[in-house]
Structure 1
C-alpha cells in the first residue's frame, strides 16, 4: 500500500528529464526516447500521466488514443523498482481508464510480455482478458499477450468473428487484402499471400481512381470471391457508375464507366445479387450472426485526415460499436492497432460514405450454398 499521498496528473514539459531518467532505470530495451516523450506530452491523441510520491516521479502511464476509433492503447507503463508493490501501477491504470472513458473512448488494449507474470496477473485483476498473442514481439524476442478491456459499462458481450488479419502490401490493394481476410474467416485454408492479393486486384480494379492506381470496385470484389467458390452479394446506394465524382479527366470517366458496366453485366450473368439501398447496420448484424463476412467501403478522413476510399472487413457489432480489421498500417501504428478496432456506431455511419455523392458500398461473402 502507498505510504504517502500519490499525485497523478498529466505530464508537462518540465517532467521530460525525469521521465527519460525513469525510463532508463525501468527498461533495458524498447525504451521511449526523449523525443518520443516530448511528442506525447503535447500530442492531442496521447494521454501521458505521471505519478509522484512526495514530489518524486515514481511512475508514468502512456495511452495512445486512436483517431477515428474508440480504442485506447496502453503504449507504456513504468514504475520505479524501489516503489513497486505499493499499488502505483494499479492507480495509474485506473486513472488512465477513467480519463480515456471521459474523453469518449470505449476500449483499452495492451500488450504484455508472456514471461511478465506479475503484470499479467495485475491486468487480469483489473478486468483485462487475453484475446491474442504476438510471437517474437519485443527486441529481446519475447512473445507478447494481447489483452483488452471495455472501460465503459455495457450490458452485453460482443460476439467477434474469428478472422485472420492480413496487411496490404501496396497502397492500392486494401480491397483484395480485406477480401482475403473475409474468405479466410469462412474457410481458413484459403488465406493467400501477395500473389493472391495482386491477382484479385487485377480482377477487381476500377483501372483509374481519383489519383494513383485504381482501387477495387465492389462488383469486381464480389466477382473475385465468387470465382473462388464463395456466394456473394453487393449493397450499394446508387445505380450510377462509382468513384467518378472526383475524376476530372473525361477519358478516365469513360473508362471507369465502361468498367462499371462490364462488372455489372457479369454480376447479372453470374446471378450475384446487387441491392441498391443504403447501409443498414441491422442487416450487417444479421449477416455476421449467420457466419457471413462483410467488407465495407469507408472514407479514411476520420482515421488519418485523408479523403480516400478504403476497404475494411467488419468483424463484429454490438450496441455501441462495430469492429473492423483494417489492412492498412500507418507509419505511427503497429499491427495490433488495426485488428478488431472498435468504432462507435454513429462514427462508422459517418465514415461509411465516400465523396460528394455519399457513396456507401458493402460486399457480403457467404459460404457457398
Structure 2
C-alpha cells in the first residue's frame, strides 16, 4: 500500500528565501499553500507583485500561494505546517503557532540549528512548545534559488516511522509524497537526530571553509576541512542517538559539500569575508538574512563540550566569530594540534613536529 497524497492545505511559517522556495515547491506539487511573513510589507509586496523581492528576487510566487502577515489566517484550515524560521526564533514562533493552529496538525521543522542556551535540537524545542503534535524534519543540499527555479534537487524528510510496510505510512513518507515533483525529490528517513545534527553543524563548517578560502588557501585545504568536519558531525550525531549512516547522506555530507563549496552559501561567504580581513560586525551590518553558522558556532561547541566531544574545527570557528581570535592564529592552532590516527581505535596522539613554526608559515602563505 502506498501512502496517500493526503496533505492538501499547507501553511508555511516564514517567508524568507527558503520558506518562499518551499511554498513554491508545494504549489508546484499541487498543494494549496498559505505563506506567513512576519513583516506586513513583505506580505503586501508578494501579493501585489507575485515575487518576494527582499528575500527571493526573480522568482514568481504562484497564485496558489496566498501570502499573509496574519498567523491565524495562515494556519486556519491547514493539514500540515512547515516551520521555516531562523533557529534562534523557532521557540517563540512555535509557541505562537501552537495557540492558533488546529489540534492534531503535524509540523515539519525546516529550521537548522541548536538552541544556544539549552543545547537542544529543533525537534526538542518544538516538542516542548507544541506538545502532542507529530513532527518531522526536512533538510538537505538545497539553495533556495535553485529550488524555486525548479532545478532538480533532493532532500531528506525524517520522522519516527510507525505502522506497517517499513514506514510507508509514516509522517515522513506522507510528506515526501505530498511534496514530490518532477524536480523535487524527497528521501525518507527515521533518524530525526542525525538529520538535525547535519543541518546544524554544516553551517559552522562552511564558515571554516570560507575563512580558509579568504586566506588564499585552495582545494586541498577545503577537502581536509570538509572531511574532518564530517567526522565531527558524525561524532555529535552518534553521541546524541543518531546514526553515522545518516550523516553520509543528503542531510549530512550532501548539505556540507554544497554549503562549503559555493559563495551562494551565506555561511561560506561570511567566512570568506572574515578570511579577507573584515570584522564580524562589518560583514553582518545591514544583512536582512540570518547567517545561521554565526549563532550555531557557539551552540554547537557548547553542546560538544557538555558531551565531552572534541570538535576542533567548530571550536576554531567559535574562537574567531565570538571571541575575536585572529583567523590566521585560529588556523595555525588547528593545524598544529597533535598528529592523530584516522581510525580512532588506534588511539594515537603525537606532538606535531612543526607546531612552533606553523603560525609563521601560515602568515607567510596568506595574501
TM-score range normalised by the length of the shorter chain: under 0.3
Larger radius of gyration: 1
Indicate the structure with greater strand content. Answer: 1
Indicate the structure with greater helix content. Answer: 2
